[in-house]
Amino acid sequence: MVDASDPGGRRGDIGVPAGLILLVGPPAAGKSTFARAWVERGRIDADGVVSCDSIRNELFGARVDVGDDPAVFGEMDLRVAARLAAALAVVVDATNVMPPARARMIAWARQHGRPVTVLRFRVVDEVLVRRNAGRTGDARVPTDDVLRYAAVAAQHTADAQLFDEGTDVVIDVPGEAEGVSPAEAAAIIRLDV
């Protein structure tokens, strides 16, 4: 496990192997903001970020209906598999807090001989609730769901479990608690090509 919040990490010398990069954390943890900052900094091309929220919006517009999940995740899976097959890095911007969600993607990475990195977003509940309340419209998630995802993440994203599942590298992404903005975190953590 790499702790990107340590003083040495602030120099921008934390490298992520170019392969499957799973952003792992509850809603409002900063995953999408980090991914956008990585794109803005040129760490990865925009097509290299596969987001379930973006795909849902592409396929169905702003409405949120869990009945759409099979189509959303099916399209997400196709995009992730295509990037891995082409030996391109891919960032998966979804909660990824449950082992089955990670397992199928880790299997594809292994099938294509690509490394697996987890960028873990650990954020205290109070911050998650505050950030979520600041979201507008359909981006806001019911508070109970945010807290449920946070509890699941706490239970299913420990280092030992992630490594047992086949993850090669686990990096804790620094955030508000460490006084680091998503743009600063994107500067600290780079993609190795």
Domain containing 119 — which CATH number? Answer: 3.40.50.300
Q: What is the pLDDT of residue 73?
A: 86
**Could you give the dihedral angle defined by the CA atoms of residues 134, 30, 145 and 62, in that order, rounded to the nearest 10 degrees?**
70
Domain extent, residue 83, equals 2-192
What pLDDT, in 10s, does the model give residues 93-144?
998 999 998 998 999 999 999 999 999 999 899 999 998 898 877 677 889 8
Q: Which residue has the higher pLDDT, 166 or 193?
A: 166
- Given a cut of 90, whether residue 49 has pLDDT beyond it is yes
Report the distance separating Cα 181 and Cα 193, nearest Å: 24
**Could you give the dihedral angle defined by the CA atoms of residues 63, 64, 70 and 76, in that order, rounded to the nearest 10 degrees?**
80
Report the distance separating Cα 183 and Cα 34, nearest Å: 7
The predicted model scores a pTM of: 0.89
How many structural domains are present in the chain?
1
In terms of Cβ atoms closer than 10 Å to its own Cβ (0-12, 13-18, 19+), residue 166 is: middle
Q: Which two tokens stand for residue 128?
A: 């998650």
Spatial strand order in the sheet of 20-24: 2-3, 169-172, 116-120, 20-24, 90-93, 49-51
Name residue 192's beta-bridge partners. Answer: 17
